[in-house]
Amino acid sequence: MREKVKEGYDEGDYEGDYRKGREVREKERELLDRLFGRVSSSRVLDLGCGTGLPFDRFLVEKDFDVTGVDISEKHVKMARENVPEADFIEGDFFERDFEENTFDAVVSFYAIFHIPRQEHPELFTQIRKWVKEDGAVLITLGPEEMDNHHGEIGGQEMLWSSYSPEKNIKLLEDAGFDIVTTYTEDYRDETHFWVLAEPSGQ
């Protein structure tokens, strides 16, 4: 799955379709504002950061200290040009091993559904480890059960994998999060499940 996803984003024209010139939309901004309201400091990790636009640009303009990780060599190169103030790491976010309690916030937009869903529980546990006790996370996940779902992005084959919203909530709670809010968004021909969560017991 990873090889196809990486190849799809490296070879495809992700920026060339409706995503070109994209800005943070009103609903995305509202959820980001809720995230900002829950974190006292400023270190943010962005998993599957893409080209850095629009989110990492938005975050650095809010004075966040941003670290982005992306598996696509092309996207990381673009991100470094688009947002030179941030740090970008090329690689698989599932294989990263950051120190515990490093980030005030962990975000991931439209990316986690590109790794096999069987790995999502372990990723959630990792994220829980990386985020500080008084931090928060904002992520998008798939809207329904799908495994090895084939489609197309930017003219290239693409793959998606996801559990249902109910199961994702349970997995996040099992990983040590309390759910602050969820939101299912239909936007153009896509549906995404947004989750704002914080470490349990805050």
Of residues 72 and 162, the one with the C-beta less far from ligand SAM? 72
For residue 7, the minimal CB distance to ligand SAM (Å) is 10
CA distances from 13 to 4, 18, 50, 75 (A): 15, 10, 12, 11
171: helix, strand or coil: helix
If one asks whether residue 48 binds ligand SAM (CB under 6 A), the answer comes out as: yes
Cα–Cα distance measured from residue 20 to residue 191, given in angstroms and rounded to the nearest whole number? 19
Give the x/- contact pattern for ligand SAM in 102-141, rule: CB under 6 A: -------xxx--xx--------------------------
129: helix, strand or coil: helix
**DSSP sequence for 135-160:** EEEEEEE-SS-EEEEEEEETTEEEEE
- 35 alpha-carbon distance from chain centroid: 14
For residue 78, the minimal CB distance to ligand SAM (Å) is 9
For residue 72, the minimal CB distance to ligand SAM (Å) is 4
If one asks whether residue 34 binds ligand SAM (CB under 6 A), the answer comes out as: no
Maximum distance among all Cα pairs of the chain, rounded to whole angstroms = 45
Cα–Cα distance measured from residue 161 to residue 144, given in angstroms and rounded to the nearest whole number? 9
For residue 171, the minimal CB distance to ligand SAM (Å) is 17
Give the x/- contact pattern for ligand SAM in 67-106, rule: CB under 6 A: --xxxx--x----------------xxx------------
- 186 alpha-carbon distance from chain centroid: 17
Q: Burial letters for 154-185: b for 16+ Cβ neighbours within 10 Å, e otherwise?
A: eebebbbbbbebeebbebbeebbbeebeeeee
If one asks whether residue 66 binds ligand SAM (CB under 6 A), the answer comes out as: no
For residue 160, the minimal CB distance to ligand SAM (Å) is 10
For residue 57, the minimal CB distance to ligand SAM (Å) is 10
Of residues 8 and 135, the one with the C-beta less far from ligand SAM? 8
Q: Which residues bind ligand SAM (CB under 6 A)?
A: 2, 5, 9, 48-50, 55, 69-72, 75, 92-94, 109-111, 114-115
